[in-house]
Structure 1
Amino acid sequence: MSKVKYYYDSENLAYKRIKTKKRKKFGYILLFLVASALFGFLGLILLINTPYFETPKDKLLTSELESMKLNYKLLNKKADLMDEALKAISERDNNIYRIYFNTSPITEEERKAGFGGVNRYRDLEGYNNSELIINTSQRIDGLMKELAIQSKSLDDIVTLGKQKEKLLAAIPAIQPVKNEDLKRMASGYGYRNDPFTKIRKFHYGMDFTAKTGTPIFATGDGVVLKADNSLSGYGNHIEINHGFGYITLYAHLSKYNCRPGQRVKRGDIIGYVGSTGRSEAPHLHYEVLKNGERINPINFYYGSISAEEYVAISKLANQENQSLD
């Protein structure tokens, strides 16, 4: 029961009861209800954000969130291992494989290049753990790109390896006539006296003196371009295209053991020594061309002679004697 309040009326010299207006009373009630509602709302907010009053759904979500954080930490540790392994592979790629095949290394800028253009991670922004998720996603995407670059590089290395194997088989790397079949090495690459005009001129091949009918061997794998006498002065001759810019020529043959278009291997007998064309005596005139330029054949005998034999034949080749053609 509310207290009754009075006031003193000085005119009538008496106490009179204070009467509260209904409008004012309604205002007090309304203010009390608003204050109560506001207090209740604030209490509810505090209750929702207090861990002691989590609902089962809240606990499940919290557990899933912690599990996600743990998984991301494990993912980053695996990314560390992947990064280390990738660095080791790229180092071998640049410093061993590409050097061996005489190929330019892949720069660090190329390997680590980012993704240009639009923001790829916009959908991951605005969450409590956005930074963790975005950083991990960026790292994984970077590793995936590096792996793609490295995979392509290794594919290139495999291709180069196959080409290197073909190149090594194609290079004219043996003497066209065996040492035991040679009488002597008659003339080398360089200026020599022409046997017919006696004028000093450049001799573009090497002359190997041997008996007529001595076997002549293909010095590298290739395809026979010619087996005829179409070149003036060379008589019966053979040209082999070895690929990679290499062509070899064998001149003054007595007869052929191959035909144009035939594929030959290093060491195959392609013809026999003779003295056809512009020749003074039975011998083989042998030339090596690289990209259309005639070069010294003596640089290509590493596949059939020893170091001592190479020194001896080099001395003979450098003697300024008379050529046989």
Structure 2
Amino acid sequence: MKAALCKSLDGPAGLVIEDIAAPQPGPGEVLIAVKAAALNFFDTLITRGKYQSKPDLPFSPAAEVAGVIEALGPGVTGVRMGERVAAYVGWGGAREKVVAKVDAVVPIPDGVSEAVASGISVTYGTAIHGLKDRGHLKAGETVAVLGAAGGAGLAAVEIAKLMGARVIAVASSAEKLAVCREHGADEAVNYASADLKDGLRALTGGRGVDVVYDCVGGDSSEAALRAIAWQGRFLVVGFASGDIPKIPLNLLLLKGCDAIGVFWGEAVKRDPGANRANMRQVLDWIAQGKLAPRIHGTYPLADIREALGVIDRREAVGKVVLAL
């Protein structure tokens, strides 16, 4: 089978396509014939040895896959040969066949393409876990999404709307905020041209927002926390700004609020059943036409360097997908 292999930590440009032996599923595993594999920004880091996960060389990037079950390992039940499934595999997805744990696979509903299904785990998985499992978001509450125009942020905007929330998108330009409105945001704050704390408070009549979904970190975090409502929930999702903020803890006391970590990757390991249930919900929303994940472009496996280059240069608007 063909695989994209990282043989040295030189970034996406160092990837090579080679023929390797197909793997065989062990106990509790399935073999997936990959039809689509989604790429993420962390693939540009893992190929440079700068990500928190550091697999042994050689390895394939791509954490999210969708395809067809081709073989079952000993003792596997609950899935069948030929079934279309999506799975989060951590890394190793940029190849024609991948072994995955059976408790990591989710059936793909009719009407949902492999390309779309391959790209939901990280962004939508984090959003539904953060807002539902960690933030306990209720219909009618107000959510501020920081970094709302990025992949993770747009997913949070869409999921929050489906959960019945009023969504305030926070981004750095009018163009980005227009995209957020297209994806369901009710209100918007451009933090590059307006004070974030004052903007959020004004849009809530001075009450503050019930939930902050923070993908960005940096200076925006404290400003948003200062605009949170009494007993609000501040969800720590990521630090796209590159700056991990140091929050004054007295703000938590004065607001009677909670700061909550959203570590989706670890949650998947600790409770795969809950993650499968969340993924089923997201896929059902897609099948019903309630969600329409955006795909920037699809590339053949041989063009993985070009595909990752789009992400590396921050040119992607939506998912970048390999079609195998």
Q: What's the TM-score bracket when you normalise by the shorter of the two chains? A: under 0.3
**Greater helix share, structure number:** 1
TM-score by length of 1: 0.21
TM-score by length of 2: 0.21
Indicate the structure whose relative CO is greater, using CA pairs within 8 Å and at least 6 residues apart.
2
Structure label with greater radius of gyration = 1
